[in-house]
């Protein structure tokens, strides 16, 4: 009797710890494991092929064989229960396995989720992760895929060679509402607190992207969040997605992190390129009569 009372006391104690303390493993700006200290806890974050990078147009190498790029299952509207989650670092949308990168990469990759990175910490701060010639854009979309030819699931692929491919899109602000983002943005208020989840009923992934999907940059890199695994084939598109200034404001001001602070500037700064080469599917236009390298 006595024993069982003690036992249940310990179980209660355990439960209450689980309920009230989400362990914040890493952050962007504040706390012990902020961006500058990720590598202390996650050694790969200090490795040599990290993401994001600054794409320097002058150093990009044009590769005419990269043109055959084909998506499957992106064309909407798709109907379903797509999970919209505030994970404390970003807003994430769960994607159906029918969405794939069918051609153009060494393997077929299946979509898992997409999420955003943004700014807003100070007035007018942008928050894209990749920068182009030093320019940071308003925000950035990542569509995460796993190598479904080599691996059975995202969990299996996430720390394996050639495991992941991410499509990245940069945002600019404009005057008109981008209605393909309206449902997601209006539902942000229902997932204000970190850990909250809701559902989106209709999604049109292709319509959320720019029209021109032919011009892109490609390089080998990593996850831009801990554990920073270096198994990501990155495709960064040249055409930008436009959101209205009001939509960007809502993105920057609605969600809270695990400390109930407004979630802002959830981007990692550019990492050294080191021995890597960024390839492009198109002849990059240079200012002042300069030319990009052609191979
Ligand atoms: C954040 O706010 C919610 C709602 O007021 C509360 O339940 C939760 O305990 C708060 N979390 C922290 C870390 O303060
Ligand atoms: Zn990301």
Select from 192, 193, 255, 262 the residue to mutate for testing ligand 1; criterion: most ligand atoms less than 8 Å from CB: 193
- Please give the pLDDT value at position 17: 43
> 117 C-alpha vs ligand 2 centroid, how far in Å?
6
Query: Under 8 Å CB-to-CB from 18, ≥6 apart: which residues?
Result: none
Per-residue pLDDT of the chain (295 residues; tens, 9 = 90+): 344 444 444 444 344 444 445 666 899 998 899 999 999 999 999 999 999 999 999 999 999 989 888 999 999 999 999 999 999 999 999 999 999 999 999 999 999 999 999 999 987 689 999 999 999 999 999 999 999 999 999 999 999 999 999 999 999 999 999 999 999 999 999 999 999 999 999 999 999 999 999 999 999 999 999 999 999 999 999 999 999 999 999 999 999 999 999 999 999 999 999 999 999 999 998 766 565 565 5
Residue spans of the domains in the chain: they are: 42-294
Q: What is the pLDDT of residue 291?
A: 59
Which residue puts its alpha carbon closest to atom 12 of ligand 1? 259
Output the CA 209–ligand 2 centroid distance in Å.
Answer: 16
Query: Which residue has the least CA distance to atom 8 on ligand 1?
Result: 260
Among protein residues, the one whose CA lies closest to atom 10 of ligand 1 = 260
Between CA 152 and CA 157, with CA 156 as vertex, the angle to 5 degrees is 90
Q: Measured from the CA of 256, which atom of ligand 1 is nearest? A: 1
How many other CB atoms are found less than 10 A from the CB of residue 221?
25
pLDDT score, position 31: 87
pLDDT of residue 8: 45
- In the reported structure, the alpha carbon of residue 260 is separated from the centroid of ligand 1 by a whole-number distance in angstroms of 6
In CATH, which of 1.10.275.10, 3.30.1020.10, 2.30.30.40, 3.10.200.10 is domain 42-294?
3.10.200.10
Give residue ranges with CB within 6 A of ligand 1: 193, 259-260
> String of b and e for 255-268 (b: at least 16 CB within 10 Å)?
bbbbeeeebbbbbb
d(CA 71, CA 206): 9
Which are the catalytic amino acids?
89
């Amino acid at each position: 009797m006595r024993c069982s009372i003690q036992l249940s006391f310990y179980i209660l104690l355990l439960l209450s710890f689980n309920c009230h303390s989400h362990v914040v493993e890493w952050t962007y700006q504040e706390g012990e494991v902020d961006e500058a200290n990720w590598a202390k806890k996650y050694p790969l974050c200090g490795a040599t092929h990290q993401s994001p990078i600054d794409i320097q147009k002058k150093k990009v190498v044009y590769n005419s064989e990269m043109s055959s790029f084909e998506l499957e299952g992106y064309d909407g509207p798709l109907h379903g229960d797509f999970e919209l989650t505030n994970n404390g670092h970003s807003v994430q949308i769960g994607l159906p396995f029918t969405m794939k990168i069918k051609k153009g990469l060494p393997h077929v990759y299946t979509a898992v989720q997409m999420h955003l990175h943004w700014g807003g910490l100070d007035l007018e701060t942008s928050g894209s992760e990749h920068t182009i010639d030093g320019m940071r854009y308003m925000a950035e979309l990542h569509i995460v895929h796993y190598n479904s030819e080599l691996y059975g699931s995202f969990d299996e692929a996430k720390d394996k060679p050639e495991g992941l491919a991410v499509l990245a899109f940069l945002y600019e602000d404009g005057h008109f509402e981008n209605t393909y983002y309206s449902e997601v943005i209006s539902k942000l208020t229902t997932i204000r607190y970190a850990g909250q989840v809701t559902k989106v009923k209709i999604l049109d992934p292709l319509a959320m992207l720019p029209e021109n999907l032919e011009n892109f940059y490609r390089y080998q890199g990593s996850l831009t969040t801990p554990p920073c695994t270096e198994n990501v084939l990155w495709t960064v598109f040249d055409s930008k997605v436009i959101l209205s200034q009001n939509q960007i404001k809502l993105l920057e001001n609605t969600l809270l992190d695990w400390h109930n602070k407004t979630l802002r500037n959830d981007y990692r700064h550019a990492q050294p390129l080191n021995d890597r080469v960024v390839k492009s599917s198109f002849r990059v236009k240079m200012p002042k009569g300069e030319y990009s390298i052609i191979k």
